[in-house]
Amino acid sequence: MITSLPGGHTISFPCWILGIVFITAMVVIAQAGLWLFNQFGWHTRLEKNNEVTGIVFGAIALIYSLILAFVIVAVWDDYNDLDKTVETETDKLSNILAHTSNLPDSLKEIVGKSISDYSDQVVDQEWQMQETRTEYPSAIPVLRQKMLNIQVENNMQQRIFDAVDKDLSSISDLRRERLSHTHSQMPRLIWQILKAGTVLLILFTYFFHVPSARLKRLYLSFMVITISMCMFLIYTLDHPFNEQGGISNQSYRNVQQEIKGYISTLANKLPDSSALCETAN
């Protein structure tokens, strides 16, 4: 997970370390709030058997847990949809390589170079994007333009070009879907409700009468740890491109490795690949 620092600098931490830091900070804040609550003497005015407080706390906890469950299911579905989008996009890239396997070597080199550049762009640039973009241009426009300018020699090449053009259109749609997840998918109102619900639950535990203050702090710690784990899970699923805890870009790296071998084989067969590319154009 990448954390921004003042001055435009960034630092990367493993996701599990940030999770432990977040949970620990929540426990410390809750315990500090309990200490402040006890300093005002409010705990001395509580009844030993405060059933009404327990009933109200149970109702609030039930409502909060339902909201939390629905949010986790929603962000989990978005996470799975994005994972399927990434798999489908890389499958389309592989399909283009398969469709163009019967083309002349000079054209196959153009296709391989274009897909290689696109995969590099995804891994090196788009995977680290953490801001909202309102417009997403088409994917691999250079390849589509070159293929439109190539003179078709027979019906087989025409069918190949039509299939590649269809795959490029699908990749453009899949890319827009993928880039839409570079920022939070959850409305700000939902985050505010989850934060407010967490504060209410913690504050309500202060009104319980427990024979031992140490035991009360232990109960509070367990509840805060549970809530913090759920909140951190929601944040991680809502930011799926984090380096440590997000979706892997290994499928694009596999395409990169495949194309590197593909291009190196063609380079050994072609004496002057640059000249052939100019001829194809």
Quote the CA–CA distance of 6 and 15 in Å, as a whole number. Answer: 21
Per-residue pLDDT at 189: 87
Contacts of 227 (CB under 8 A, 6+ apart): 26, 198, 201
Cα→Cα distances 248→84, 157, 243, 279, Å: 12, 35, 8, 39
* Higher pLDDT pick, 178 / 149: 178
Per-residue pLDDT at 107 exceeds 90: no
The per-residue pLDDT for range 224-272, each reduced to its tens digit, is: 999 999 999 998 888 888 766 678 888 888 888 777 766 665 655 544 4
Q: Is the pLDDT of residue 27 over 80?
A: yes
DSSP state of 241: T
| 3-class secondary-structure state, position 46 | coil
Can you say how many angstroms the Cα of residue 181 is from the centroid of all Cα atoms in its chain? 6
The token duo for 207 is 């009104």
pLDDT of residue 230: 92
- Given pLDDT bands bounded at 50, 70 and 90, which one contains residue 48? low
Q: What is the mean pLDDT of the chain?
A: 79
Burial 140-161 (b: 16+ CB within 10 A, else e): beebbebbeeeeeeeeebeebb
pLDDT at 274 over 70: no
| Amino acid in position 73 | V
Residue from 89, 99, 95 nearest 136 by CA:
89
Residue-wise pLDDT tens digits, 181-208: 887 888 888 888 899 889 888 888 888 8
CA dihedral 119, 121, 126, 132 (to 10 degrees): -130
What would you report as the CA-atom Rg of the chain, rounded to the nearest whole angstrom? 28
What's the rounded Cα separation, in Å, for the pair 53 and 6?
Answer: 45
The dihedral region occupied by 158, where left means phi > 0, alpha psi between -120 and 50, and beta the remainder, is: alpha
Q: What pLDDT does residue 225 have?
A: 92
Q: Is the pLDDT reported for residue 103 higher than 70?
A: yes
pLDDT at residue 45 tops 60: no
Each domain of the chain, given as residue ranges in start order, spans 14-280
The answer to whether residue 25 scores a pLDDT higher than 80 is yes
Distance, CA of 78 to CA of 181 (rounded, Å) = 9
The model's confidence at residue 50, banded by pLDDT at 50, 70 and 90, is low
CA distance 154 to 149: 15
pLDDT of residue 12: 64
Beta-ladder partners of 3: 11
- What is the model's pTM? 0.71
At 71, is the pLDDT very low, low, confident or very high (cuts 50, 70, 90)?
A: very high
The span from the CA of 199 to the CA of 30, in Å, is 9
> Is the model's pLDDT at 128 over the cut of 50?
yes
Q: Over 70: is that where the pLDDT of 179 sits? A: yes
What is the widest separation between alpha-carbon atoms in the chain?
92
